[in-house]
Structure 1
Amino acid sequence: MKLSLNICITCMAAALLVFAGPAQSAEQYNGKKITLRLASPSPTGSNMVRGYEKFVELVKEKSNGKVRVKLFANALLGSDRATMEAVQRGTLDMASCSSPNMASFAREYMVFDLPYVTSPAHQKQLYAALDSGELGKRFDAVASGIGLKTIMYSEYGYRNFASTKKPLNSLEDLKGLKVRTTDSPIEVAVASALGMQPSPIAWGETYTALQQGTVDGEGNNWEHMVNAKHIEVLKYAVDSQHNYSMHILMMNKKIFDSLPAPVQDILMEAGREALQWQREITIEHEARAEKAMLDAGMVIHRLSDEEREAFKQATRKVWDQFANELDKDLLQLVLDTQK
């Protein structure tokens, strides 16, 4: 009888572990304490940094305090490109890099830079494809090929053009504008297609460049402009929504692979949960940022359907320009989400 009871207890325990799945991985890790460093160029209070703060909190909670992530925001450890290079070298554990700047590491990421390749109306389909579809699997392989492990596709949002010196009420108003871009070849080409003068500048140097007149404007989401205090010098904007960006949290693959399996599960699960939470708060953040811009006296021109179509047509040649450099299968996977 005693033997049977022990067997039943053992079976019940095993069943609980099976049904609990990865969510119980934190309780299963009883190894030594681990500390990881995470760098983000984004300002404190932004939707991305809040998402990473949630990630840090969840990792600590799921590991019962045995795994800690130290977050360095505000470009404290350098720009996203510089910190991602450090992650590749293994001198930094994790870093967040914008999808346009990820094109410097693997050209496959350029597919997200195409103007109007995605739209806000189809975000849920894009999320599903990245989180659990073939699109996400393909990019996992891309990341692995450059020594990285994808942890989460943090929501950044749609970029809009803004200016320090003149209203942006039409395509004509963009011509001649000296605009800050990332290093993405496509982003540079989009600016040129619209008649602007592109100037790739590191994010941490953008405020000074706007203030000193090195550039007259930028393409960014509302919240980033607000949190970085760019609205102190920016005066006009247009809701062009010409490009969707993410900030992709990556980890050095060798370091990730060297961690105990329960710790790997903790990091991935915390990333999934933090991502869902971060996406939910982004809508609120963007609305609050837009209000802050208007309160600061900025003038925002809202494109009509006809005007937006004109922007799309003016930038369509960029698709042709990079047709031979893009992974056609990846592009099709992205386009499949826009139906």
Structure 2
Amino acid sequence: MPIHSEAPDRPQAHYQFLAGGCSGFLEILCFHPLDVVKSRMQIQGARPLPGEVFYSGPLDAFAKIYRYEGLSSLWKGIVPPICVETPKRGAKFLMYELFKPYFHFGAPQPTALTHAMAGSLAGTLESFLVNPFELVKITQQANREKHLKTLSVVKYIIKHDGYGIEGLYRGITALVARNAIFHFGFFGFYNAIKDWVPISQDTTSELLQKVIIAGFASSLACLTSVTFDMAKCRIQGPQPVKGEVKYRWTINTIRTTFREEGFRGLFKGLGASIMRVGPGGALLLVSYDYFYEFLKKQNI
């Protein structure tokens, strides 16, 4: 990823926004099925409810979703992220570049902490833009019987729960925590490892090196934030008992999950998350890098 020690000028910001948007769009198209699998596994409890299909792992979830709901079900809920992904990713990378100069802490060049703090702040602000889209996406992904239309879900949520913390912004505290922690590790680990590993002079080796580092950094960041992601999915998804709100607040959701399902319950969906976020994060960071350089060369 290009590292800029100064605040971006207008053309540079233009390239960063476009590069971030293009890379985000590409990543969501390729890895959305894993997001569906992750959400299904995080929503389910320790034991299946009567008549509910239970998933024992990511591969089992893939097979059962395909068998009972069809191939297209693996892309359930893709419309909300597609609608928001391009501007969201663009805005996040732009904010990340803008915030970096404020976190040098006296160092002449950006450090790993600089990248981590800037990424964490950008991810936190991003949460307030994407929470309604995340809520709609989880609602669509959780439904096993049919493909819910995006606008119908939005209208239903607004009509019954409103716009606030009980409605479109349900789960916002869990999303803020997840994004802040994930992006702190995501950008921090990536740049720390990249600066530590000698840069290869061969173009192909350099690309492979970046992919491996980005995938490893994404996986580590996922490990540190998956508990909050699980809490977010449970708060935003359908409640276990209809008409009864079991998961409402982040900390209480984590406590309840730990009490009922043990330590492993806090890491539900980790396998699917790493399968998605590892290669997905690698694709995102590396494609951002190359999209950015391409746009600069083309002077678009």
Give the alignment's TM-score, normalised by structure 2: 0.30
Structure with greater proportional strand content: 1
- The structure number with the bigger radius of gyration is 1
TM-score normalised by the chain length of structure 1: 0.27
More helix by share: 2
